[in-house]
Structure 1
Amino acid sequence: MKALTNFFDRIVQRYLPDAFLFAIILTFIVFLMGVLFTGSGPIGMIGNWGDGFWDLLDFAMQMSLIVATGYILANTPVLQKGLTKLSTMANTPAQAIILVTFVASIASWFNYGFGLVAGGLLAIYVARRVPSVDFRLLVASAYSGFLLWHGGLSASAPLLVATEGHFLEDTVGTIPVLDTLFSSFNLFIVIVLLLTLPLVNWLLMRSRDPLSQPNPTLWQNSNNEQQEEEKEQAKEVTPATRLENSQIISLLIGLMGFSYIVYHFVQNGFDLNLNIVIFIFLFLGILLHRTPKRYLNSVTEAVKNIGGIVIQFPFYAGIMGMMVGSGLSEQMSAFFIDISNEFTFPLFTFISSGIVNFFVPSGGGQWAVQGPIMVPASLEIGVSTAKTTMAVAWGDAWTNMIQPFWALPLLAIAGLKVRDIMGFCAIILIYSFFPIAIGLLFL
């Protein structure tokens, strides 16, 4: 296990380029495939690319808000105090690894932005309490919990197809989350991973030699926000500053937001779509930050994590435009029809999604590219579109373990680099293939 981990570390450090380059490389690949295999000329492919470039602006905003609201919620005083108290449950390195993996997995299932931030923060608090733990493995354990995100409540693909107006509605209509996120096969995968990932990371700990101690300077900024807030309050009090620090304003708008949440579920039943998930986390963050000033300060930090989404999604939309406009998506659908049957199609969909994720390191962007390919194929073969959606979702989550794009926010919190955790995550990738494949094939 140690040799395999070190091998993957060396490969990743040498050959893995920046995340933004994946979108550009995939653009070139799809352009060339369209020219070579569909009969479309270069000018036609350029037209398809440019015409589709802005088709996902609404979706890009939704994905940005998912990340931002999760980050904001994880940085509320209540959640931070809870993480500090939670860290007291770990007194040994083994307990530290298991605790961080389990909590990060649950948090990621609720919201992937929240899971990344909460996992990184908890790793720091736990390492402060158990300084003998391997900090690199502890942070990798936190990131391994991110594997569950696309089977959870912030999952891009299943929440999108449950939302009216999504770009495949004319083909499949809307698919309720009871058929995707809360299906028997998805719950099986989630539960198995939730219970076994801590044990896999514990085995990784047992196979490791002791490493250097975590950097204590990482925790010296725990009171910085409080000190800055005290300095702000010491300044001259004006009507504007009173409004900025008014708890009443946050309470009133928070209550208004939650009144609508109750109204939404009363009117629509358990309609847990992408918009309502963002809405819940947004207003929960407002209430828990207590004042507009604190909330806006957290927003300023949160938006630093969404730059990649904002700049990459137009490229994903352009890729989708080329694939659909050239007919390339139909040709790829025919390929999967030829090699699949009703039983094997979910597995091939999962594997192909994992491969595509190397080039499109975003669940939403990947669904925009692969959804128009896989859904028509599933309809022709006779496979459930709900299971096809989740196969694409799990493929994206699966290879995120060795795709560093979504690890960056967590690594920024922990003060580590991608090469510090990727070897551990490669082992998680190999293991997790089996429960995911079993769930998709046999349930």
Structure 2
Amino acid sequence: MTTATKGADSERGLARVAQSLAGWTEKWFPDAYVVALAGVVLVSAGALANGSSPQTVVDAFGGGFWDLTAFTLQMAMVVLTGYVVATSPPVAKLIDRLATIPGSARTAVSLVAFLSMSVSFLNWGLSLVFSGLLARAIARRTELRVDYRALGAAAFMGVGAVWALGLSSSAAQLQATPASLPPELLQITGVLDFGTTIFTWQSLLMCAILIALTVVIAHFSAPTGAAIRTAEDMDVDLDDRTEPVPPRSRPGEWLEYSRVLPVLAGVMTLGWLISQLLTKPVLTTVSSLNGYLLVFLILGLVLHGTPRQFLQAVANAVPAVGGILVQFPLYAAMAAIITRAEGRGGLAVSDRLAELFTNVGAGWFAVVIGLYTVVLGIFIPSGGGKWLVEAPYVMQSATDVQMNLGWTVQIYNVAEAVPNLVNPFFMLPLLAVLGVRARDLVGFTFLQFIFHLPVVLVLVWLLGMTFDFVPPVIPAGP
């Protein structure tokens, strides 16, 4: 019997159930790309059942497959820029310093959870790598005897709790970027900047409540005494030494090893940012996905110091973006089939679903949409890509029942994070950093899921009642 099996056998109550769930998921849950492919088939079957002709369905599939090309690259860059910044030497030094702060094992778990969620508000890709490296640095403090599973689960809380309520929320970024919005969705919602989504006081309050709740659960669920399993107990190698950059071997490589170009690029980016802030509304600048990525990419270049070191970090980050590059076109195809493949009565599947949600009425709309998003997210882990699938009919029904559109985006956002606590797909980059398996963490994240689900549903319902309906402003065509 392995050490991991013995640990699972010794668990009781919710932790034992969660370990069993993690084992089942690892054995039976297919790769996320396969789930997306199955989603295309199911959506196509739904369109055919709605009366669409086979030709209409395949035309929508092929016509919409590349609709999200720009957005796909943008989401891949969110992950890549986060990875590059997190692995830069200055951030590595910051991580080592932060690791010296906790004075006890449970305080260490609480700190990792809090910082994971705080950094995730800026960039969820940065949060995964930063928090994983922080967990490893704390685990090297053998005098603390911190449970490595609890540390790893705490490092995941940024993506498992509040990532979509922050600046890298793909749904909020998409709604604030008219060039990235599919025409069908733009005609329903108009453009929604961060002032109507991320930066409403209701969204910020909800984010603060979830952070506090998560930290408390992480603190008191961390094992103590004989139940602790350290990184050493789990045979995890905590040596974080990286391959050094090879020395310059020829004169032509001088600029590759020079700090001159990164500094100049940093100065230009800073000048551009100042110019944007002085000439445009602050929320417009902050909501710009392209501007956001520009700042993070050049920040990574400056922090790594030289182009050679930066490119080495980029090469290490590339494997983490593969899933996004091949999955998002399938979500675009699904969205096109749902919205464009007209069936009986000239109505597409999105029209039928809009009618269904409209019939719910404003009173329970937030709760129903929240539950629907959670359930769908368990089977389609997308990082927000499935917003393109849901948005046309969800936002249309929100307009019909006069639910605030900005808050509807936030209902989706907060509910989108909840299923990440039980679906291991978004753990993959973190698991690679930690050197563990999903089953080692899901016992703790499942406990968070049990508390988060009812709290999220209550919050979206109560806070939703504080909004007034604002009709969408549809931009004029070119």
Residue 296 of structure 2 is aligned to residue 276 of structure 1: no
- The separation in 1 between residues aligned to 2:445 and 2:249, in whole angstroms, is 51
Offset, 1:9: 2.6
Give deviations 1:145-189, integer Å, cap 9, x for gaps: 222110001111112111232222222221121111111221121
Query: Would the aligned equivalents of 1:25 and 1:359 in 2 still touch at CA under 8 Å?
Result: no
- The separation in 2 between residues aligned to 1:400 and 1:97, in whole angstroms, is 19
Residue 330 of structure 2 is aligned to residue 321 of structure 1: no
Structure 2 gap ranges (5+)? 1-13, 342-347, 464-478
SS, match of residue 182 in structure 1: coil
Q: Which residue of 2 aligns with 1:297?
A: 312
AA in 2 matched with 1:220: D
Query: Would the aligned equivalents of 1:192 and 1:435 in 2 still touch at CA under 8 Å?
Result: no
SS, match of residue 306 in structure 1: helix
Q: Which residue of 1 aligns with 2:411?
A: 391
* Greater Cα offset, 244-253 or 207-216: 207-216
Q: Which residue of 2 aligns with 1:418?
A: 438
AA in 2 matched with 1:69: T
Query: Of the candidates 86, 95, 108, which is equivalent to residue 107 of structure 2?
Result: 95
Query: Of the candidates 283, 296, 300, which is equivalent to residue 285 of structure 1?
Result: 300
Q: Which residue of 2 aligns with 1:330?
A: 351
Offset, 1:356: 1.8
* Greater Cα offset, 353-362 or 413-422: 353-362
Q: Which residue of 2 aligns with 1:197?
A: 214
- The separation in 1 between residues aligned to 2:75 and 2:389, in whole angstroms, is 15
Residue 76 of structure 2 is aligned to residue 61 of structure 1: no
| Aligned pairs for 1:253-272 within 5 A | 253-270=265-282, 271=284, 272=286
Offset, 1:287: 1.2
Offset, 1:41: 2.5
Query: Of the candidates 159, 162, 172, which is equivalent to residue 158 of structure 1?
Result: 172
AA in 2 matched with 1:417: R
Query: Would the aligned equivalents of 1:189 and 1:435 in 2 still touch at CA under 8 Å?
Result: no
Give deviations 1:65-100, integer Å, cap 9, x for gaps: 011001100011110100100010123211111111
Give deviations 1:84-130, integer Å, cap 9, x for gaps: 00010123211111111011111111100000111111110011114
AA in 2 matched with 1:221: D
Residue 210 of structure 2 is aligned to residue 218 of structure 1: no
SS, match of residue 110 in structure 1: coil
Offset, 1:438: 2.7
AA in 2 matched with 1:245: Y
AA in 2 matched with 1:142: A
Offset, 1:359: 3.4
Query: Would the aligned equivalents of 1:2 and 1:207 in 2 still touch at CA under 8 Å?
Result: no
The 3 A distance-change label for structure 1 pair 301 and 187 is same
Give deviations 1:379-398, integer Å, cap 9, x for gaps: 01100110111111122111
- The separation in 1 between residues aligned to 2:127 and 2:335, in whole angstroms, is 29
Query: Would the aligned equivalents of 1:22 and 1:358 in 2 still touch at CA under 8 Å?
Result: no
- The separation in 1 between residues aligned to 2:339 and 2:40, in whole angstroms, is 13
- The separation in 1 between residues aligned to 2:456 and 2:23, in whole angstroms, is 27
- The separation in 1 between residues aligned to 2:448 and 2:236, in whole angstroms, is 29
Query: Of the candidates 126, 129, 134, which is equivalent to residue 147 of structure 2?
Result: 134
Offset, 1:217: 5.7
| Aligned pairs for 1:233-248 within 5 A | 233=247, 235-238=248-251, 240-248=252-260
- The separation in 2 between residues aligned to 1:7 and 1:337, in whole angstroms, is 38
| Aligned pairs for 1:36-115 within 5 A | 36=49, 38-115=50-127
Query: Of the candidates 188, 193, 218, which is equivalent to residue 176 of structure 1?
Result: 193
TM-score, length-normalised on structure 1? 0.94
TM-score, length-normalised on structure 2? 0.87
Query: Would the aligned equivalents of 1:329 and 1:373 in 2 still touch at CA under 8 Å?
Result: yes
* Greater Cα offset, 163-172 or 114-123: 163-172
Structure 1 gap ranges (5+)? none
- The separation in 2 between residues aligned to 1:118 and 1:218, in whole angstroms, is 18
Higher helix residue share = 1
Query: Would the aligned equivalents of 1:245 and 1:292 in 2 still touch at CA under 8 Å?
Result: yes
Query: Would the aligned equivalents of 1:286 and 1:295 in 2 still touch at CA under 8 Å?
Result: yes
Query: Would the aligned equivalents of 1:344 and 1:441 in 2 still touch at CA under 8 Å?
Result: yes
CA-based RMSD of the aligned residues comes to 1.7
Query: Would the aligned equivalents of 1:120 and 1:414 in 2 still touch at CA under 8 Å?
Result: yes
Offset, 1:213: 2.6
Give deviations 1:188-240, integer Å, cap 9, x for gaps: 21101112212101222248962443047633232x33xx22xx22x5341x2
The sequence identity of aligned pairs, in percent, is 28
Query: Would the aligned equivalents of 2:109 and 2:219 in 1 still touch at CA under 8 Å?
Result: yes
Give deviations 1:270-327, integer Å, cap 9, x for gaps: 2222222212211111111111111111110111100000011111111111111121
Q: Which residue of 2 aligns with 1:351?
A: 371
Query: Would the aligned equivalents of 2:370 and 2:412 in 1 still touch at CA under 8 Å?
Result: yes
